[in-house]
Amino acid sequence: MTTRKKLIAGNWKMNKTSADAVALVSEIVAAVGKQSDVDVVLCPPFTSLESVGRALEGSTVKLGAQNMHHESSGAFTGEISAAMLRALFATHVILGHSERRTYFAESDELINKKVLAALKNQLRPILCVGETLAEREAGSTLKVVQTQTERCLEGVGRDLAPSVVFAYEPVWAIGTGKVATTAQAQEVHGFIRGLLTKLFTDPVAQKVRILYGGSMKPANAPELLAQKDIVGGLIGGASLEARSFVDLVNAATAVV
Ligand code: 13P
């Protein structure tokens, strides 16, 4: 099996002023800013990207955004382009998060445009997929994940596919304290890897990192991260505090 470096990403959502963000980043950098066993990405709100980017200079920790518009510029009030993110030295962008899908009506078609625009601008999309509780209970988890995956990746070539990071985030596990069991998570991760094999061939699929997201905490991370196809985590609540986030990075280091 290809060795895939684990990745721990913090999605701060709509939290922290720029000053609060810098304080948190300084603690994280002091603890894990020199290690390179695990990739670490921090995704603050747009308003903190510049200050967090500056605080990350000279460290191994990378910068990501939580969203972007797919057009390169123009009359799109309130929006931010891929080029603007690149100019702030962002390397990653979260796309298709379930909160964007639910509260801002983002469709797979729109997310697909964003994925293509991100890749065109050398940004790595952290593409989120996942089922709601009703969909899981109806037995349609794999179908939902398949549709999201195929539609969001439309037009992505084999050459760029390994730049996409996947995040499987069961909607019912986000911010609820209900974590998917390792078997539930591994099943979907393995399924996504199988889909990627069909779409892009096995060597390409083996390179893609698939993160788990949904109430991941230092206590449940070691078991999840030990699963064959779980190559890291996209962390919400536990990324807002240096101690728990650093513990998660250390948990990933321990299973490298
Ligand atoms: P929680 O870790 O707070 O459940 O959030 C997960 C998430 O949505 C990360 O994108």
212, 188, 193: which is closest to 9 by C-alpha? 212
Is 169 a residue of the active site?
yes
Cα-to-centroid distance, 175 and ligand 1 (Å): 6
Bridge partners of 126, per DSSP, are: 94, 165
DSSP 227-240: STT--EEEESGGGS
Q: State pLDDT tens for residues 99-115.
A: 999 999 999 999 999 99
* Mean pLDDT value across residues 58-74: 98
Pick the catalytic residue from 92, 135, 169, 189: 169
Nearest atom, ligand 1, residue 214 CA: 4
Angstrom distance (rounded) from CA 247 to CA 256: 14
Nearest atom, ligand 1, residue 13 CA: 10
pLDDT score of 2: 53
Q: If you ran DSSP here, which 8-state letter would residue 24 be given?
A: H
Q: Is 234 touching ligand 1 by the criterion CB < 6 Å?
A: yes
Pick the catalytic residue from 92, 97, 99, 106: 97
Q: Is 225 touching ligand 1 by the criterion CB < 6 Å?
A: no
pTM of the model: 0.97
Q: State pLDDT tens for residues 2-22.
A: 568 999 999 999 999 999 999
Q: What's the CATH architecture for 7-254?
A: Alpha-Beta Barrel (3.20)
Could you give the residue ranges of the DSSP H alpha helices within 16-107?
18-32, 49-56, 82-87, 98-103
Nearest atom, ligand 1, residue 213 CA: 6
E strands, the chain, are 7-11, 39-43, 62-65, 92-95, 124-129, 165-168, 209-212, 232-235
Spatial neighbors of 97 by CB under 8 A, at least 6 apart, are 11, 66, 67, 128, 169
Is 154 a residue of the active site?
no
Q: State pLDDT tens for residues 136-155.
A: 999 999 999 999 999 999 99
Bridge partners of 233, per DSSP, are: 8, 212
Q: Is 127 touching ligand 1 by the criterion CB < 6 Å?
A: no
Q: Is 211 touching ligand 1 by the criterion CB < 6 Å?
A: no
Angstrom distance (rounded) from CA 132 to CA 117: 27
Reported confidence tier of residue 67, pLDDT bands at 50, 70, 90: very high
CA distances from 102 to 30, 60, 73, 107, 133 (A): 36, 33, 25, 9, 13
Cα-to-centroid distance, 176 and ligand 1 (Å): 9
Q: Whose CA is nearest to atom 2 of ligand 1?
A: 236
Q: Which residue has the tokens 């990071």?
A: 165
